[in-house]
């Protein structure tokens, strides 16, 4: 299947179900098909499937709940990291479903996503949304839990030129963190620019996408990878 067909299939599947919000697995499959580096995520609907998926992606493994009703997965115990082997994944699956059902009894649960555990890096957020006056726009900022409070983010209108991508990264206050503080390695700013440009191109190519979050993206001294992703489609 070509990447473009895969994207269309994911989009039309969601539309047929009357959904605008793609699951993490759908979002990541779409992004991967469109050439954006994300951690490989597989849907599993029972403990054995979860273990099998984990064997495929390799250990240690990350498991996250998939539910259209849960926005903040970690708040309800819906994220577990560092599962070392297939047994840990099986046990982890049962525990996660139990915990999530206790915390969010009304939430529909579609299963879990099983993915590689990425090496921690500097967390940044890359996103896109649709502005009522200017149409599709891109956002960049330092990721993590403080992004909503500090609002240290920059915006540009799609499509981005490389100068725009470069400036978006350099105009946030937290730039010194990306450049590396106290002897710590900085982030690969070139890779982040490429990521911004790739997402901008995706948004141009796929006008069905209304909102997109890559949050967090782990930025390394060499390269960057989106660890979580969320894609929202326009209402028809």
- Member of 16, 151, 181, 236 binding other proteins (CB under 8 A): 151
Those residues whose C-beta lies under 8 Å from the C-beta of residue 93, and which sit 6 or more positions away, are 44, 46, 47, 50, 51, 63, 112
Those residues whose C-beta lies under 8 Å from the C-beta of residue 79, and which sit 6 or more positions away, are 62, 63, 64, 65, 73
The reply on whether position 107 binds other proteins by CB under 8 A is no
The reply on whether position 166 binds other proteins by CB under 8 A is no
User: For residues 109-128, which are near other proteins according to CB under 8 A?
Assistant: 125, 127-128
| CA 82 – CA 61 distance, rounded (Å) | 5
The reply on whether position 141 binds other proteins by CB under 8 A is yes
User: For residues 52-71, which are near other proteins according to CB under 8 A?
Assistant: 71
The reply on whether position 154 binds other proteins by CB under 8 A is yes
Contact 100, 204 (CB under 8 A): no
The reply on whether position 175 binds other proteins by CB under 8 A is no
Q: How far is the CB of 20 from other proteins (least distance, A)?
A: 8
CB atoms within 10 A of CB 88: 18
Count, residues near other proteins per rule CB under 8 A = 34
C-alpha closest to that of 138 among 152, 120, 153, 124: 153
What residues make contact with other proteins under the rule CB under 8 A? 20-21, 71, 125, 127-129, 131-135, 137, 139, 141, 147-148, 151, 153-157, 164, 167-168, 171, 210-213, 215, 230, 232
């Amino acid at each position: 299947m070509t990447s473009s067909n895969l994207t269309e299939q994911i989009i039309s599947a969601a539309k047929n179900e009357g959904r605008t919000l793609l699951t993490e697995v759908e979002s990541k499959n779409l992004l991967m098909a469109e050439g954006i580096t994300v951690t490989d995520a597989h849907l599993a609907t029972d403990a054995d499937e979860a273990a099998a998926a984990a064997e495929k992606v390799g250990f240690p493994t990350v498991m996250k709940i998939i539910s259209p009703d849960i926005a903040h997965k970690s708040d309800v115990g819906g994220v577990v990291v560092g599962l070392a082997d297939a047994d840990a994944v099986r046990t982890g699956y049962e525990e996660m479903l139990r915990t999530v059902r206790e915390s969010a009894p009304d939430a529909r649960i579609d299963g879990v996503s099983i993915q590689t555990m990425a090496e921690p890096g500097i967390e940044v957020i890359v996103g896109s949304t649709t502005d009522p006056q200017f149409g599709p726009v891109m956002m960049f900022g330092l990721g993590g839990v403080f992004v909503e409070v500090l609002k240290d983010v920059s915006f540009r209108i799609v499509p981005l030129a490389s100068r725009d991508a470069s400036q978006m990264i350099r105009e946030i206050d937290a730039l010194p963190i990306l450049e590396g503080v106290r002897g710590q390695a900085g982030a690969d700013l070139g890779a982040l620019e490429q990521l911004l440009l790739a997402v901008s191109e995706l948004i141009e190519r796929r006008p069905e996408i209304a909102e997109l979050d890559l949050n967090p993206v782990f930025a390394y001294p060499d390269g960057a990878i989106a660890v979580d992703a969320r894609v929202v489609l326009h209402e028809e």
